[in-house]
Structure formats: structure tokens, C-alpha cells
Amino acid sequence: MLSVIVAWRAGDKRREEALNNTLACLKNQSAEHEIIVVDQSLDSSLIFDETIRHVKLPPRENFNKSWCFNVGARQAKTDKLVFLDAEMIFEKNFLSEVRGFADKHDAFLCWDTILMMPGRDNPLPRILKPVILKTLGGSFFFNRETYFNKLGGMNENYEGYGCEDNDALDRCINLFDGRKIDVMQYALVHQYHDWEPIDNDLYKKNQEILRLVRKDLRGFTKQLREANLGNPLHPILINV
């Protein structure tokens, strides 16, 4: 059995439609799994049915995807954790492919191709590969032991959008002594939604955190391992 963790914050209607499509794909999977939606929305009209564990976090001004993922990982019923962005769609064999790949790998990207659908801010479809994106984004898998006790989980110091996925990938590569993270051959589709307006101050803050983490990946990983991340009441911040 797998635990699928979706980090969610309501935005425009496209984001709600995208999440509904993602959940429909999950409900159509053949592999046994649970769905955990960790919701940090200020306000949302979505209603989740009984097949979904809806974890509602206290609302905060800025989205913190790392916090959502860590809370979901703590509350998962299994040790096989699939982290999934809330706008991905895929075929009905996705989780069965993940489950098979997980028999030989304790951490990996669950895709080798992402098709970015077009829209207002992305006028042409794009194909992304891991060497282009260079993040733990889209969807990735960890055994619980590796996630919390080796990687240290996601860094909850990041708010807003961006950098947390880069931080996690850099620490993951460092964890594996420079070896690239394993990649499962699978194509995901990223549904279009409008891009969030950039908060320049928040963006600069996140970039500075990432810069400092990259200077001492092992030191910050140690801090994160010891921080008991995933508190559902508030993010846990490390010293940066």
C-alpha cells in the first residue's frame, strides 16, 4: 500500500479544477493506496469525499508546501510515501508503476517527462526533463525512514512558491554522495493554472535561504533530521 500526499492551497478556479482532476486520476488507480490532501487554504469551496483524508492546517499568509508535505508524511498510514503536486494527471497504472519501482529504490523521482500544458502565462506546451527542472518536483517517492531520518524531510523555512524543491534535491544528491537520484520512466502532465504573482521580498528571502543551505548541505540536513518536522499546528524553522 502507498500513501499519496498532496499539498494544496486554493487559488484561482483553475487550481481547484486541477486538483479535482488529480484526485480523479488517483481514485482510478489499480494499486492500493490512501490519499492525503494537506490543505493550507485561506478559503476554498472544495468538498472532499470520504475516500480522501483531508488534513486542514491553520491558514497562514503564504503557502508552505514543505510544511504540508511533512505533515502528510507524519500522518501517513504506510511507510511508502508518494509526494504529488496538486495539478498532475496521469494514467491509471501510475501508482502500480511506483509500487514496483519502490521494491528496488528507497527514493526516486516518479517521472522522467512532464508535459506542461499551455495557458495565459505559458503560451506553448513544453516538455520538461529532470536535467532541466533540477528539483524534487512533480512527484517523488521516499520510504519514511529515508525521508525523515536521512534526508531530513522538506525544509519548512520556505514560504511562497519556489526553492523548497531545489533545496530538497540538493540535499538528496548530497545524501547519495553526489549520485543522481533514481528516475522512474513515466510521463506526467502538468495542468495549466495561472502563475502566482511574485513577491520580490519573499523571493529574495527564499533565494538567500537556498544559497546558505547549499554552502553546508550536510549541516542543514542534520538540523532538519533533529527538528521533528511535520507539526500540524505551525511550521518548524531551523537556524539559517
pLDDT of amino acid 10: 86
pLDDT of amino acid 205: 95
Pair 203, 162: CB distance under 8 Å: yes
Q: Domains of the chain, with CATH numbers?
A: 2-225 (3.90.550.10)
Torsions phi, psi of 10, nearest 5? -65, 145
Q: Which residue has the cell 486554493?
A: 10
> Considering only CA atoms, which of 91, 159, 117 is closest in space to residue 14?
117
Pair 195, 87: CB distance under 8 Å: no
pTM for the whole structure: 0.95
Mean pLDDT over 124-145 rounds to 92
pLDDT of amino acid 215: 96
Check whether 209 has a pLDDT greater than 90: yes
pLDDT of amino acid 213: 97
**Residue 32, Cβ neighbours under 10 Å: how many?**
11
Each residue of 92-107: pLDDT tens digit? 999 999 999 999 999 9
pLDDT of amino acid 176: 80
Each residue of 25-45: pLDDT tens digit? 999 999 999 999 999 998 777
Split at pLDDT 50, 70, 90, the class of 200 is: confident
